[in-house]
Chains A and B, each alone.
Chain A
Amino acid sequence: NAGVTQTPKFRVLKTGQSMTLLCAQDMNHEYMYWYRQDPGMGLRLIHYSVGEGTTAKGEVPDGYNVSRLKKQNFLLGLESAAPSQTSVYFCASSPPGYNEQFFGPGTRLTVL
């Protein structure tokens, strides 16, 4: 099992450009999450999904959109990137209910 994978691993964007980050999991988990991690801030939840076709906002959703068209994939989109979105992005998945999360390796995004 590959677990949780993220594509790409690194990306540099110019302000105003758009991009999509892909998260895939092969554990048949219902729940999937997108976090951003900034120095000194820990992990902050951007959006999450509790099942195929559903999404919900987290703590810091502005400037991001998500889609969960297939159970195994969770996409994070930036429509018009801003320097404030420079961060490391982590995807995670978990079974429903109170359970541990499984994290991907992260995507390091720089917006110039």
Chain B
Amino acid sequence: SQQGEEDPQALSIQEGENATMNCSYKTSINNLQWYRQNSGRGLVHLILIRSNEREKHSGRLRVTLDTSKKSSSLLITASRAADTASYFCATEVSGGSYIPTFGRGTSLIVHP
């Protein structure tokens, strides 16, 4: 079973708008990562946030982590058509074996 679950499953927006997707998980984690997957390609790492961090930025990406609510959000600002992809969160459980567990992903479509 998935440790992390993304929400929504699908998101459709216009270019220039912001896109927000969420990840909820069940057990305590050491870190949470977000990945992007373009159609037919492998996953690409976007950002890692550790359990003692609350917010991280990377370019147009902003990730927040709320360990009390066991949730994270990924915000893409000023989206572009090239941001069209699936986005996955991956969690590494505290006291675990450093093996991340992936959610089912959010499919983002950005219309030009």
Interface residues of chain A, those whose CB is within 8 Å of chain B, are 4, 31, 33, 35, 40-45, 48, 50, 56, 58-59, 90, 92, 96-106
State which of B40, B44, B103 has its C-beta within 8 Å of the C-beta of A42: B103
Beyond A42-B2, A42-B102, A59-B101, 14 additional contacts (C-beta under 8 Å) are A4-B42, A33-B99, A35-B102, A40-B104, A43-B88, A90-B42, A92-B43, A98-B98, A99-B48, A100-B33, A101-B45, A101-B100, A103-B43, A103-B44
With contact pairs A42-B103, A43-B88, A48-B99 given, residues A100 and B48 touching in the complex (Cβ less than 8 Å): yes
* A4 to chain B: closest residue by CB: B42
- Main SS of the interface on chain B? strand
Does B67 count as interface, using CB distance less than 8 angstroms?
Answer: no
Q: When the two chains form the complex, which single residue of A40, A102, A106 contacts B45, counting CB atoms closer than 8 Å? A: A102
* B50 surroundings in chain A (CB, below 8 A): 98
Q: Who on chain B is nearest to A103 by CB?
A: B42
Which residues from chain B contact A43 at a C-beta distance below 8 Å? 43, 88, 102
Residue B28 lies at the interface, judged by CB distance under 8 Å to chain A: no
Would B88 and A42 count as touching, CB distance under 8 A? yes
Instruction: Name 23 interchain pairs, CB-CB below 8 A, sorted by A.
Output: A33-B99, A40-B104, A41-B104, A42-B103, A42-B105, A43-B102, A45-B99, A45-B101, A48-B99, A50-B97, A59-B101, A90-B43, A96-B98, A98-B31, A98-B50, A99-B48, A100-B45, A100-B48, A101-B45, A101-B90, A102-B45, A105-B42, A106-B41
- Inter-chain CB contacts under 8 Å: number: 56
How many positions in chain B have a CB within 8 Å of any CB in the partner chain?
25
Q: A101 and B43: CB pair below 8 A?
A: yes
Bitwise, B89-112 to A at CB < 8 A (1) or not (0) is 010100001111111110000000
Q: Tell me the minimal C-beta distance from B47 to chain A in angstroms.
A: 9
A residues near B90, Cβ cutoff 8 Å: 101
B30: interface (CB < 8 Å):
yes
**Which 10 interchain pairs have the tightest Cβ spacing?**
A103-B42, A42-B104, A100-B45, A43-B102, A103-B43, A98-B31, A42-B102, A105-B42, A98-B30, A98-B92
Contact with A along B33-58 (1 / 0, CB 8 A): 10100001111110010100000000
